[in-house]
């Protein structure tokens, strides 16, 4: 058993939802037990915690057009055609999961969608949620033509004649997404239960929901009110870019009613940039061969005012930062909030952190800002090698610099960004340790000096994420008195002969000592 708090132990005893004792088998033999699990070379860890994911999107995959299992543009079109035929009652064909590397330049075309769905509007987000693929009918309903200007926080992809070609980036997505019929309340609640069951099966006992909106908050409260929320859920309310500082009253009201059972709302989510693949990630210097530095969604001084306001109202702030300029602007804004409001235990965090200029890496530790990392992406893939690295040049030297952050004293937490990629914490930990893609494992490591050792990676997925979730006093390590949120794996993952970490399976997940997933023989 790996306690994460320092060292190993042979046995753990659980009573009334808490860890009653940790020590040797002999020491614990005298304690009465209603169930004994013999480890026999298996590993017990604190329950995994995901510091950044989208559970409703994941739970909704059983309902919408799910393209996450596709491997090419042709696969996407086949699945869209299948979904259309199987769902004749749906007014819109909506869903997500296509990958930008399926299409030339990362941009799919409306004409391909028109060929398989000519009669209904189609709205399909890509895996990272920063680009939408739409057909001609959707563009028509939204009134998007060659004369439609790009919104300030997005871009309409166009053909040589200036006509919308079928891809909408960032804020341009809202021009169509606002027309898509929302899921019903019952569908939202079922999506939450679907996601909870799927993630418990991966050993996850707590998550931080990256974006909680009024509709999903209602689902949380309904499920928690029935006593069905077995996941510890930390939520972030969305800072809406089209509104100003007057939205603070609404955020405070939602926070006030957003704590029930295992649900807590402490955070506000701010998008400071987009993604590198569509050139909306915000860079200090232009993308190679262009004069484009991407998009900062908020001007630097505006972002500082937002952080000062949110911090003064006791919010934890969760910032989407991909490019090095977005990271710097966000760190500057957090520093401004500290200077204005004084130091407090805020645990503000920057998610994704794909590019961090070396000058800014020590600032995470200096400011107490948590580096909320998604390590599954820190490896060579077609997505990275074709759509990212050619356009960032020498900045590839600080691409997902997790090792450098740890050496600089940054607090580190791991998240998946599910459904953008797998939610499997063991696969995520493996890539953090190897910097090689899972499950391919046949490529050269990406920046091997940025690899983490296994104990550090496990700690980031447990204790580190518990810290950013304000749960470290109760969870994240195996210690007497803490809640019995535990996971049992099918092997000793610290044994080099046990095979790749990402191949390990979860056999048992406990939430306060109660099984929420049980696959033990």
Q: Indicate the number of domains in the chain.
A: 3
Average pLDDT for 292-317: 98
Final residue in a domain of this structure, among 127, 148, 177? 177
> What phi and psi values does residue 425 have, to the nearest 5 degrees?
-60, -30
Quick one: 124 and 227 in the same domain?
no
- pLDDT class for 2, splitting at 50, 70, 90? confident
Final residue in a domain of this structure, among 146, 177, 208? 177
Quick one: 33 and 86 in the same domain?
no
| Domain assignment of residue 6, yes or no | no
The CATH number given to whatever domain includes residue 414 is 3.20.20.140
C-alpha to C-alpha distance for 166 and 162, rounded to whole angstroms? 12
C-alpha to C-alpha distance for 344 and 361, rounded to whole angstroms? 21
pLDDT surpasses 70 at 1: no
| Domain assignment of residue 314, yes or no | yes
Quick one: 311 and 382 in the same domain?
yes
The DSSP secondary-structure symbol of 294 reads -
Q: Give the number of other CB atoms < 10 A from CB of residue 247.
A: 15
Residues 6+ apart with CB under 8 A from 440: none
Quick one: 28 and 139 in the same domain?
no
Is the Cα torsion angle 488, 494, 495, 498 positive or negative in sign? positive
| Domain assignment of residue 286, yes or no | yes
The CATH number given to whatever domain includes residue 157 is 3.10.310.70
Antiparallel, parallel or unpaired: β 486-489 and 506-511: antiparallel
Quick one: 150 and 202 in the same domain?
no
Q: Which of 39-43, 66-70, 83-87, 303-307 has the lowest mean pLDDT?
A: 39-43
Quick one: 257 and 219 in the same domain?
yes
On the question of a cis peptide bond just before residue 433, with omega within 30 degrees of 0, the verdict is no
Quick one: 140 and 105 in the same domain?
yes
The phi-psi region of residue 166 (left if phi > 0; otherwise alpha if psi is between -120 and 50; otherwise beta) is left
pLDDT of residue 7: 66
| Domain assignment of residue 475, yes or no | no
- CA distances 44 to 117, 247, 509, Å, are 49, 44, 10
Quick one: 348 and 495 in the same domain?
no
Quick one: 378 and 499 in the same domain?
no
**pLDDT tens column, 222-232:** 999 999 999 99
| Domain assignment of residue 501, yes or no | yes
| Domain assignment of residue 489, yes or no | yes
Range of the domain at 499: 11-47+480-518
Quick one: 200 and 167 in the same domain?
no
Q: What is the per-residue DSSP string for 405-435?
A: HHHTT--EEE---TTSS---HHHHHHHHHH-
| Domain assignment of residue 242, yes or no | yes
Average pLDDT for 477-486: 96
Final residue in a domain of this structure, among 150, 177, 204? 177
Quick one: 431 and 297 in the same domain?
yes
Quick one: 319 and 422 in the same domain?
yes
* Encoded tokens for 426: 């063991």
Q: In a 3-state reduction of DSSP, which class is residue 77?
A: helix
**pLDDT tens column, 187-244:** 999 999 999 999 999 999 999 999 999 999 999 999 999 999 999 999 999 999 999 9
The CATH number given to whatever domain includes residue 42 is 2.30.40.10
| Domain assignment of residue 426, yes or no | yes
**pLDDT tens column, 137-147:** 999 999 999 99
- pLDDT class for 344, splitting at 50, 70, 90? very high
The reported pTM is 0.91
């Amino acid at each position: 058993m790996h306690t994460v708090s320092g060292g190993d132990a042979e046995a753990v005893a659980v009573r009334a939802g808490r860890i009653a004792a940790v020590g040797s088998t002999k020491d614990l033999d005298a304690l009465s037990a209603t169930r004994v699990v013999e480890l026999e070379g298996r590993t017990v860890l604190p329950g995994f915690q995901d510091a950044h994911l989208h559970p409703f999107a994941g739970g909704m995959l059983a309902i919408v057009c799910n393209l996450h299992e596709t491997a090419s543009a042709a696969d996407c079109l086949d699945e869209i055609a299948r979904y259309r035929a199987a769902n004749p009652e749906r007014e819109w064909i909506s869903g997500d999961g296509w990958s930008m590397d399926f299409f030339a330049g990362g941009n799919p075309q409306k004409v391909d969608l028109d060929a398989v769905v000519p009669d209904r509007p189609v709205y399909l987000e890509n895996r990272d949620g920063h680009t939408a693929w739409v057909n001609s009918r959707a563009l028509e309903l939204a009134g998007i033509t060659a004369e439609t200007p790009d919104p300030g926080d997005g871009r309409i992809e166009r053909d040589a004649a200036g006509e919308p070609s079928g891809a909408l980036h960032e804020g341009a997505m809202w021009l169509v997404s606002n027309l898509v019929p929302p899921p019903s309340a019952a569908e939202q609640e079922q999506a939450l239960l679907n996601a909870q069951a799927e993630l418990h099966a991966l050993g996850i006992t707590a998550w931080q929901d990256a974006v909680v909106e009024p509709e999903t908050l209602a689902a949380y409260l309904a499920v928690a009110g029935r006593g069905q929320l077995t996941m510890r859920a930390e939520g972030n309310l969305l800072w809406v870019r089209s509104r100003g500082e007057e939205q603070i009253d609404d955020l405070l009201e939602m926070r006030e009613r957003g704590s029930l059972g295992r649900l807590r709302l402490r955070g506000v989510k701010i998008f400071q940039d987009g993604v590198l693949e569509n050139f909306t990630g915000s860079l200090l210097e232009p993308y190679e061969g262009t004069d484009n530095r991407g998009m900062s969604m908020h001007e630097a001084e505006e972002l500082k005012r937002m952080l000062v306001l949110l911090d003064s109202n006791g919010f934890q702030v969760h910032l989407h930062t991909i490019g090095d300029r977005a990271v710097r602007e966000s760190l500057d804004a957090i520093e401004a909030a500290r200077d204005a409001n004084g130091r407090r235990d805020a645990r503000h965090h920057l998610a994704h952190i794909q590019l961090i200029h070396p000058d800014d890496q020590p600032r995470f530790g200096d400011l107490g800002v948590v580096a909320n990392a998604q390590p599954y992406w820190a490896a060579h893939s077609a997505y990275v090698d074709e759509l990212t690295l050619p356009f960032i040049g020498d900045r590839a030297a600080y691409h997902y610099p997790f090792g450098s952050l740890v050496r600089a004293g940054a607090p580190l937490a791991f998240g998946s960004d599910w459904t953008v990629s797998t939610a499997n914490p063991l696969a995520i930990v493996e890539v953090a340790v190897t910097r090689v893609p899972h499950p391919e494992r046949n490529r050269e490591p990406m920046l091997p000096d940025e690899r983490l050792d296994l104990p550090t990676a496990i700690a980031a997925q447990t204790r580190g994420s518990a810290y950013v979730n304000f749960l470290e006093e109760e969870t994240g390590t195996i210690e007497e008195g803490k809640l019995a949120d535990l996971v049992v794996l099918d092997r000793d993952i610290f044994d080099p002969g046990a095979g790749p970490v990402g191949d390990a399976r979860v056999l048992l997940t406990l939430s306060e000592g109660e099984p929420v997933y049980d696959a033990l023989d």
